[in-house]
Structure 1
């Protein structure tokens, strides 16, 4: 199904976010019996523990993963690190197949970041996987990983605790949270994952950007993880290019999510005081809607309409905050493929494992220039990169159309098969 068709249903009033009865979960092992409210409770003023430390968990039944794959699953609450280096608290899901791992060594884990789901607390991937809302579309992708025997450590990303808003498209937040949930997955009472298990990183769209940030940060932030490979598709690697295309278009809701998400990560920067009445309502709309609701509300919206002075994107980029830092500088910090290199290169971000990047031939949301440019930056830096852009699909359907290739790519890396890349 094409994303335009899904969006048309949302815009015409179809109920795509449907609360359902919470499924029952298996009995919690000792030490993993937190109430659901405890998982998502507001973060404390001071966060104790090390990155990846498990703070709370509870068994979950993942009704939005099709196929009835026998598994044990948990919602988790854990420690991570934000873009400024401060500790924060993040939520997510861990799932381990019941079937024994028989391919040698320890069971590998796929660190997974979902594509855009929306910015409000109810949109969290862990809630949607457990059937609390229906506005997600990647259950089938996770089914493939589980059927292949891989565990899943799926982060919600930063900003899904009570009273928060998702820090959408903030690279360091996303990369840290994705790596840290792998650490967390090995601490669950009653879990079976071990520290020597290989790790694959995967995500599409927003999740693709998070996956590449996880790949770029792995060597410096989580050097103990044995990352075997990363797969990232539909990647908005340059937010300036992406924002220019989104502004005033069919998918302007993604731009609204990004603006509010950046403000959530950098609240010291001018933002609320710039808004007119329409802008204030826009912030409430972002915080109150999930994916399809956001797209419907912001259909054709332009950022120029939300500020008292009618500020355009370029004018917003020039606005200074404390210390003379501009919004443009903050946006540029999220750009992928900058200061990267292979292992032992001395680059700021060393990537010592193969990377698979991909996009659909009919991509209509993310500019081809930034997806192709991110791949070119990886190739120019000498990172082992496999690229595929021949899927006969648009944005959303590429996520599903490439899922088999992603599973096979990571499976080959887990089994130690070499890949030369096709730069």
Structure 2
């Protein structure tokens, strides 16, 4: 079933659940045992100590939403990461390790997984949904394939799913840091079996594709100790300005609403709240309360101009400047994927010393082809080995159509098979 048909089914049935505020402890310490409460996983410490990737707390969990009956050990985790301002933050996620012995040689590899858009409400976090609080996640069968192949999964929920926060949707540095730090944290679980020398493959689709390529770009500088051997990313909204033009006023304007609220949460120095009219203030609450299909239903065919007192257009918003003198346009441009990249031996700002697999749907109806194709072209021009494929699906079904190929492509990287590009 396509995303448009699914949207039609849920427009009238939005999911509302406001995040509760919980008193936070004043400090963090590495756990000796995984004894956190479930509420504790999603409560940010008042003071965050330790290094990026340090495990703050964990608890054993089951992942009943992942089909196939794969026997595994799984934990919810809370760990230290770094936000776009360089501050230490707490991020949630989960780790799953198959019970079956790894027979592929060397240490069991890890798939660093980051989901597609799930929504900004606290109940939407992937770790909550896979543990049984299912809302409308669509990633379970992708996770099943990785686990059936024998790979461990370190999955970041992403920044902003702690109680009282809002997800910082489409903020590249936040996303990339959180993905890499989840892998670091996965190796510190008491009773876990993952080793520091294991190979890592990064993957995700849609928002997850955006997050994955940002993690790929940051890996050599932010987490050089990780042995990342490849990144697979599909449906990548690599140019947010192109994407915003497509989404504004469309059936899928909810994605734009998530991005506006998420970017403003990450950049409080930028003008935002003072621009809103009553509809705009309600819109922010809708974003903060809903998961994917609830947000899409609430914002279908809405234009951004409807939510500000001066009916500001995208171009007018881009021209506005924050207290630091930076414009909203510059903030958005800073999220563009594939800018400043180069090979591992280059002097580029973001050095990528491993191959990438990128893909999109031929019937893509949400993200402009120019945004996805442009991301691929920037990788090719930078000399990074890039394999590209187009699938015969629209946005949602392409995620599922590509799942087997993504698993196999990562498997080839884990076994050391040379990658080929088709730029």
**TM-score interval, normalised by the smaller of the two chains:** over 0.9
Matched, 1:394 2:394: yes
Question: Can you give the 5+ residue segments of structure 2 that lack an aligned partner in the other structure?
Answer: 18-30
Looking at structure 2, the residues matched to 95 and 260 of structure 1 have their Cα atoms a distance apart, in angstroms, of: 31
1:322 deviation in Å?
A: 1.3
Residue pairs, 1:180-191, within 5 angstroms: 180-191=181-192
Matched, 1:60 2:52: no
> What SS class does the counterpart of residue 48 from structure 2 fall into?
coil
1:86 deviation in Å?
A: 1.0
- Please name the residue that 1:85 is paired with: 86
- Please name the residue that 2:196 is paired with: 195
Q: CA RMSD in A?
A: 1.2
Question: Can you give the 5+ residue segments of structure 1 that lack an aligned partner in the other structure?
Answer: 18-28
- The TM-score, its normalising length taken from structure 1, stands at 0.95
Matched, 1:122 2:114: no
Looking at structure 1, the residues matched to 420 and 308 of structure 2 have their Cα atoms a distance apart, in angstroms, of: 50
Residue pairs, 1:127-142, within 5 angstroms: 127-142=128-143
Looking at structure 2, the residues matched to 42 and 196 of structure 1 have their Cα atoms a distance apart, in angstroms, of: 30
Looking at structure 1, the residues matched to 13 and 161 of structure 2 have their Cα atoms a distance apart, in angstroms, of: 26
Looking at structure 1, the residues matched to 324 and 359 of structure 2 have their Cα atoms a distance apart, in angstroms, of: 39
- Please name the residue that 1:33 is paired with: 35
Looking at structure 2, the residues matched to 133 and 290 of structure 1 have their Cα atoms a distance apart, in angstroms, of: 11
CA contact 1:16–1:135 (8 Å) conserved in 2: no
Looking at structure 2, the residues matched to 124 and 258 of structure 1 have their Cα atoms a distance apart, in angstroms, of: 16
CA contact 2:14–2:295 (8 Å) conserved in 1: no
Looking at structure 2, the residues matched to 327 and 190 of structure 1 have their Cα atoms a distance apart, in angstroms, of: 46
Q: Deviations over 1:343-380 (max 9, x none)?
A: 11010000000100000100000000010000000000
CA contact 2:269–2:324 (8 Å) conserved in 1: no
Looking at structure 1, the residues matched to 69 and 16 of structure 2 have their Cα atoms a distance apart, in angstroms, of: 23
Looking at structure 2, the residues matched to 219 and 400 of structure 1 have their Cα atoms a distance apart, in angstroms, of: 30
CA contact 2:16–2:290 (8 Å) conserved in 1: no
- Please name the residue that 2:175 is paired with: 174
Residue pairs, 1:223-372, within 5 angstroms: 223-372=224-373
- The TM-score, its normalising length taken from structure 2, stands at 0.95
CA contact 1:252–1:301 (8 Å) conserved in 2: yes
| Structure 1 consecutive aligned stretches of length 4 or more whose deviation exceeds 2 Å | 12-17
1:134 deviation in Å?
A: 2.4
1:42 deviation in Å?
A: 3.4
Looking at structure 2, the residues matched to 386 and 147 of structure 1 have their Cα atoms a distance apart, in angstroms, of: 24
Aligned residues: 410
Q: Deviations over 1:65-122 (max 9, x none)?
A: 0011000000000000011111111000100000000111000000000000000111
Looking at structure 2, the residues matched to 199 and 350 of structure 1 have their Cα atoms a distance apart, in angstroms, of: 16
Residue pairs, 1:84-123, within 5 angstroms: 84-123=85-124
- Please name the residue that 1:209 is paired with: 210
Looking at structure 1, the residues matched to 6 and 15 of structure 2 have their Cα atoms a distance apart, in angstroms, of: 11
Looking at structure 1, the residues matched to 252 and 160 of structure 2 have their Cα atoms a distance apart, in angstroms, of: 22
Q: Deviations over 1:129-150 (max 9, x none)?
A: 0011321001000000000000
1:14 deviation in Å?
A: 8.0
1:161 deviation in Å?
A: 0.4
> What SS class does the counterpart of residue 94 from structure 1 fall into?
strand
> What SS class does the counterpart of residue 324 from structure 2 fall into?
helix
CA contact 1:43–1:161 (8 Å) conserved in 2: no
Looking at structure 1, the residues matched to 245 and 45 of structure 2 have their Cα atoms a distance apart, in angstroms, of: 34
Call closer, same or farther: CA 1:297–1:359 in 2, change over 3 Å. same
Q: Deviations over 1:203-259 (max 9, x none)?
A: 000000000000000000000000010000000000000000000000000000000
Q: Deviations over 1:313-346 (max 9, x none)?
A: 1100000111211111100100011010111101
CA contact 2:14–2:298 (8 Å) conserved in 1: no
CA contact 1:304–1:312 (8 Å) conserved in 2: yes
Looking at structure 1, the residues matched to 324 and 37 of structure 2 have their Cα atoms a distance apart, in angstroms, of: 43
CA contact 1:229–1:353 (8 Å) conserved in 2: yes
1:11 deviation in Å?
A: 1.1
Looking at structure 2, the residues matched to 16 and 387 of structure 1 have their Cα atoms a distance apart, in angstroms, of: 39
Matched, 1:158 2:162: no
Looking at structure 1, the residues matched to 114 and 202 of structure 2 have their Cα atoms a distance apart, in angstroms, of: 8
